[in-house]
Amino acid sequence: MMMMFRNHVQATSSTVLAMMMTRSLRYSSSSSSASAASAAASGAVERMPKFLVTGSTGQLGVQLVSLLRSTFGAASTLATDVRLPTDQNMLNEGPYAFLDVTNGDAVRRLADQHEATHIVHLASLLSAVGEANPELALRIGNEGTKNVLEAARDCEGGSPRTVYAPSSIAVFGPSAGKVAGDKSHLMPSTVYGITKVHLELLGAYYRKKYGVDFRSLRYPGVVSATPGGGGTTDWSMDMLMYARQMLSDKAAGKTTTAIPFECFLKKDTFLPYVSMDDTLNETVKFMSASQPPQCTYSVTGLSFTPEQLHESIRRHIPEFEVTYNPCAVRQKIADSWPDSCEDSAARRDWSWNPAVSTADALVDQILFHEDADDAGEQNLQKATIK
């Protein structure tokens, strides 16, 4: 089932990617306009973008690496992390390397060796895990970001690399109010949120001082049919995966479990979310756009409570039951976050437009994916990326 979901994301996202990425950005091995003009005069074919992805074995990294490789070629994307991926496709489909982002020399060396034009910086410890290990969360979040930006600035023989590094609604605290946006007060209640504020500010500094094209989206909870990585919104994936397993057991003629799903947040905890499909499609759209006016944008897809997601699932599985056993740490974090996000600037500046806007649509998408691994989807025109 997880593989089916990955194939669906790759196919649908690749189609959107090919349609959306109409603006061309060419990279040459020299930053000088004279060299670029010479290359154009000689008819030289300018190379496609190449990506170094940190934290690639996480929830978003696995899907994004697959999408980039399917679109730009297997060799285009160097996946990296401090551990081997559980998804063997990541190892089989393209290059993979060990990388600790707190080692600045290693980050720069791999970026140079791969001739990366883009660094996609996903390495971090999520909210709940970061609270359990704040020292490591600070090292990965703060030192890692600095090292990535330095590798982008100090690019061998060319212009600064583009950096995409997601932020999070964790940058907000109670002072942001129930609806938070680009101009809301940033007073995070977690170490994870603190590292994301640092990421946003340092990225903006490197853009202004060194010309690094730094871009970031403040993700709400990203919902997929794969396990989360220790975040406060992981309950949503856990609940949906539990429901998928019940459907799978039914289809196989097995007796479905009578054990209720246990949710670690209160049933009325209202938070913003976005589907994985929308996250991938809209992130790559953002990466492909002309340099936007802002470095960082707040975005969202929909908001719901655990009880509302439960009711949406019961449309298909009437016997699906949930018990609520709030985790004190995660509930406190969730209570400090906004109910929804104001994303009008993202819609205006680069056409943020998520497809999934209701809990019912999200449940239908994740529970009933068809296997979209269509050979026709693989014959994509090579897109260009900003």
Q: Known catalytic residues?
A: 192
Cβ atoms of 338 and 180 closer than 8 Å: yes
What's the CA gap between 356 and 365, in Å, rounded?
A: 9
User: Angle at the Cα of 16 (from 15 to 22), degrees rounded to 5?
Assistant: 105
Contacts of 155 (CB under 8 A, 6+ apart): 111, 112, 161
Residue 352, token pair as written in the block = 């943020």
Rounded to whole angstroms, the Cα distance separating 14 from 135 reads 38
User: What is each CA distance from 346 to 25, 129, 204, in whole angstroms?
Assistant: 21, 29, 17
Distance between CA atoms of residues 293 and 349, nearest Å:
8
Q: What one-letter code names the amino acid at 273? A: Y
Residue 233 one-letter amino acid: T
Q: Return the bridge partners of 51, or none.
A: 77, 118
CA distance 221 to 128: 13
CB 128 within 8 A of CB 329: yes
Spatial CA neighbour of 8 closest among 357, 277, 222: 277
- Output the CA torsion sign for 101, 102, 106, 111: positive
Answer for the pair 256, 249: CB distance below 8 angstroms, yes or no: yes
